[in-house]
Amino acid sequence: MHPRRMAGLIALAIAARVAYWMVTRDYAPDSDALDYQVIAENFARGDGIANNFPQLEMHATAFRPPAFPMLLGGLFRVFGASVGLARLTNLVIGVIVVLLVERLVTRVGGPAAGLAAAVLVAIYPPLVINDITVLAESLSLLLLVLIVLALSSGRWALAGVETGLLVLTRNSAQLFVVVIAVLILRWLGWKRALGYASLAVLVVVPWVVRNQLQLGGAVITTSNGFNLAATYSDEAHATGDFVDAVFDPRFSDVRLLQFDEIAWDRALRKRGLDGLRRHPEDVLKVSGRNSLKYFELRPSENEAPERLDGRNITVRNLSLPLFYVVTGAGLYGLWRAREHRTAVLVALAAAYFSLVSILSIAPPRLRAPFDLACCIGAGLLFGQLVGSAGAGPRCSSSASSA
């Protein structure tokens, strides 16, 4: 990348994020973000991955994935713990994602496409907003782009390590390993697919061993049961929407189990699955309801989760029309570039994470992989329209052709 082009993208990305920071100077982490902040502070003090949620006292926890609070905790240990440093960390990660997207899309669609995609990622409000919060979305996008870059260059081993880190960053990535392994099996054969999956698992194993030793269960996370109960339990069916097992009095019979995360997760998972067996039609109901929220077809219903995540509702509402434009252009651009393995990887990642959210819980911030994919697709479309390298040559069966 030309130095002036890089400098311009860095300046644009920083300016957009600083501008949003200025209108959210009173931001205070809440809910998920507060958990990440507290866990990071505990990690910095040498207490490990610990939190008082879902209990009342500090304890070893696996309710949140560990990679992001470990990153923050390492920085807190050196520079001191603060919300500002946590936000700055995500800002820097967001700028790096902009530069990596330019590199990725330029490979596929040429310089004009790469620049257009990077500019969109630099200024696109849903992505900018994520980068000024204390949430793991920014780090997960960085790892996702690195995975696509590695696979598009045939570096399946590196992609395996990065996918393992993604699983430790984003709970919904647990089955992403299987999806990519199947794709590698088709493209590169079973040996590389097995090697990729093995490396991803090896990265996650130490965390699972830690959970066995400290929590009493060889699990990746203890939040799957919470999500299932929140979406598919009899209580959720009766409510017709998300229910919170921590505060809903209908879950009082499992309240004491919160002092044992493994047992609590198991009880809530059973509750969700039992409800799903009794009401299998809820899969369609939940998916339909979440799809309307996910694709901003009922934007007013997203204001509550946006406020909970500390987002500025005025900025959200003013920038909402851009979402529809970028989404339409991005999906069309990815479709036109569908013969490229890189475009297939980007689209597949967006589809996987979208499906997981739509089937369970779908606040706008979890749409980040889809939003990133649409920015990439819109950049590819721009490159095609201005007569750059377009979708590039037809790819062969070799990994390097991508």
SS3 sequence of 30-83? CHHHHHHHHHHHHHHCCCCCEECCCCCCCEECCCCCCHHHHHHHHHHHHHCCCH
Contact 179, 348 (CB under 8 A): yes
Give the pLDDT confidence score for residue 56 in this predicted structure.
79
Average pLDDT over residues 372-391: 84
Give the pLDDT confidence score for residue 107 in this predicted structure.
93
Given a cut of 70, whether residue 317 has pLDDT beyond it is yes
Q: Give 117: exposed, middle or buried? Use CB within 10 Å, 0-12, 13-18, 19+.
A: buried
End-to-end CA distance of the chain: 19
Query: pLDDT tens across 220-242, in order?
Result: 999 999 999 999 999 999 999 99
Contact 331, 379 (CB under 8 A): no
Given a cut of 80, whether residue 313 has pLDDT beyond it is yes
Given a cut of 60, whether residue 389 has pLDDT beyond it is no
Given a cut of 80, whether residue 257 has pLDDT beyond it is yes
* Listed residue (234, 142, 158) closest to 196, CA to CA: 158
Cis peptide upstream of residue 54 (ω within 30 degrees of 0): yes
Average pLDDT over residues 70-78: 98
Region class of 311: left (phi > 0), else alpha (psi between -120 and 50), else beta: beta
Rounded distance, CA 152 to CA 93, Å? Answer: 21
Give the pLDDT confidence score for residue 57 in this predicted structure.
86
Query: pLDDT tens across 333-363, in order?
Result: 999 999 999 999 999 999 999 999 999 999 9
Mean residue pLDDT of the chain comes to 93
Phi, then psi, of 141 in degrees rounded to 5: -70, -40
Give the pLDDT confidence score for residue 119 in this predicted structure.
98
Rounded distance, CA 161 to CA 159, Å? Answer: 5
